Structure 1
Amino acid sequence: MTVLRSILLFVLAAIAEIGGAWLIWQGVREHRGWVWIGAGVVALGAYGFVATLQPDANFGRILAAYGGIFVAGSLAWGMVLDGFRPDRWDVLGASICLIGVAVIMYSPRSA
């Protein structure tokens, strides 16, 4: 159950952070205005809180592992919302990152 909770929190963090950055991008680069930018700032703030809910207490480990989630999630976000089509190198790189997440977060450790 702890691993499932951790994965769900990583997904929620990715939605908040990537979504927040995307909203700001839309507000600035696509000229959608301050409401989009403000929503992005709120979402980015929410990301900061979600990360604190991870079961592991080590800040560095959580943020290092989340980096891999961010890479894969950013590509997925681009596919769903912007019509981006990753090439094989994008997929390979994201896969390597997700393997890194699994090693960092879910490898057995001695207490």
Structure 2
Amino acid sequence: MELLKLSALFAVTAVSEILGCYLPWLVLKQDKTPWLWIPAVGFLVLFAWLLTLHPSAAGRTYAAYGGMYITVALLWLCWVEGVGLTRWDVAGALLALAGMATIMLQPRV
């Protein structure tokens, strides 16, 4: 159950980070309204705050979070950008999630 809760928190954290970066990308690359900078900053603040909710040390949290970030970014690629995933994308996401689980579920001494 702990892994499920941590994974959900990591997933929400990843969506916040992606939105905080994707909105400026829309402004800079697709000439969308500069008003998108405002929610982008909000999402990046939310992202930083969400990272503080994890129980592990910051470095361990950031390392494990990377696995979920990779997975959510690939899902974003598919669902938002409409780019199909390859079997290599899926394999990489599964490896990244296995790494995340390994880091987060290690025995506490």
- Normalised by the length of structure 1, the TM-score is 0.89
Contact persistence 1:10–1:69 (CA under 8 A): yes
Distance 2:96 2:62 in 1: 13
> Which residues of structure 1 form unaligned runs of 5+?
none
Aligned pair 1:75/2:74, yes or no?
yes
Contact persistence 1:71–1:94 (CA under 8 A): yes
Letter of the 1:93 partner, please give it. G
- Number of residue-to-residue matches in the alignment: 109
Q: Counterpart of 1:49?
A: 49
Letter of the 2:62 partner, please give it. L
Aligned pair 1:17/2:6, yes or no?
no
Distance 1:15 1:110 in 2: 28
Distance 2:24 2:55 in 1: 30
Aligned sequence identity (%): 33
For residue 23 of structure 1, report the CA deviation from its aligned partner: 1.2
Contact persistence 2:3–2:101 (CA under 8 A): no
Distance 1:110 1:48 in 2: 25
Distance 1:35 1:105 in 2: 38
RMSD: 1.4
- Normalised by the length of structure 2, the TM-score is 0.91
Letter of the 1:35 partner, please give it. W
Distance 2:75 2:83 in 1: 8
Contact persistence 1:28–1:37 (CA under 8 A): no
> Which residues of structure 2 form unaligned runs of 5+?
none
